[in-house]
Structure 1
Amino acid sequence: MFGKLATQIGWFVIVGCAAAATHWAVAVACVAWAGMAPLVANVAGWLVAFGVSFAGHYRLTFRHQHAPLRRAAGRFFLVSALGFAINETAYATLLRLTSIPYDILLALVLIGIAGMTFILGRCWAFRHNR
């Protein structure tokens, strides 16, 4: 049991880092190159990163749970949207309250959402009802 959990956590970290890096890079590029406001750019980053995150978690992190693709996609979208809502709220609040640069602040917020995503992904989104 612990071996499977350790493997899932390992893949979760790898996939999560890839998705977070994608999210961060897209958001920063949208600010720097397209002149978007950071909160709008954050939405674009999340939408692109969702594809990276779902594909990686479905194929790698939670593959042993054998969840049906369509159900897992819908559920994981809800988990991701909840995480994003918390992310956007925290990000907006912290942008107003601190002088931390927007890109560093976004990286900190993204890390903060990861634990919730793992638990909800493992226990609900990718769970296979037998």
Structure 2
Amino acid sequence: MRSLLWFGAVGASAAAVHFAVVWWLVERFGWPALAANVAGFALAFCVSFTGHHRFSFAAQEAKASQALPRFALVAGLGFVSNELMYALLLRLGLEYRLALLLVLVAVAAMTWLLSRHWAFKGREA
């Protein structure tokens, strides 16, 4: 349960960074939402990996050198899913902030499962 609470806190922090970057780039600099989403993802990835390695899945004792490439694959899969769903929702006419919020929540469940059971899995006893 503690792992899930940390995952939520770290995920919410990373999602907030992601959301804020997208919003800022779209509103301040007029970036297209899908392009801003790439920048938001890149910054959120740093927050996410660090927080999940140190807090969410620390008890699994995975070495960073093992967990980073695995988590990068999980995050990459999550991002591809994110970008495809985001593009679809934008094409359907949803407002970009609402669409992004829905996508971030949807991808979180997949990320948790893959992170817990593979990316941050430490050595077997």
TM bracket, shorter-chain basis: over 0.9
In 1, the alpha carbon distance for the partners of 2:97 and 2:11 equals 18
In 2, the alpha carbon distance for the partners of 1:78 and 1:30 equals 26
Other-structure match for 1:49: 44
Cα deviation, 1:27-51, whole Å, max 9, x if unaligned, reads 1111111211000000000000000
| SS, match of residue 67 in structure 1 | coil
Other-structure match for 1:8: 3
Letter aligned with residue 26 of structure 1: V
| SS, match of residue 127 in structure 1 | coil
In 1, the alpha carbon distance for the partners of 2:29 and 2:69 equals 30
Other-structure match for 2:27: 32
Other-structure match for 1:17: 12
What is the 5 A alignment of 1:81-120?
81-97=76-92, 99-120=93-114
CA shift at 1:129, angstroms? 2.2
CA shift at 1:70, angstroms? 1.2
Cα deviation, 1:48-87, whole Å, max 9, x if unaligned, reads 0000000000000000011011110111011001000000
| SS, match of residue 15 in structure 1 | helix
Consecutive unaligned residues in structure 2, runs of 5 or more: none
Which has the higher mean CA deviation after the structures are superposed, 39-48 or 26-35? 26-35
Other-structure match for 2:75: 80
Across the aligned residues of Structure 1 and Structure 2, the Cα RMSD in angstroms comes to 0.7
Consecutive unaligned residues in structure 1, runs of 5 or more: 1-5
TM-score (norm 2): 0.97
In 1, the alpha carbon distance for the partners of 2:39 and 2:5 equals 27
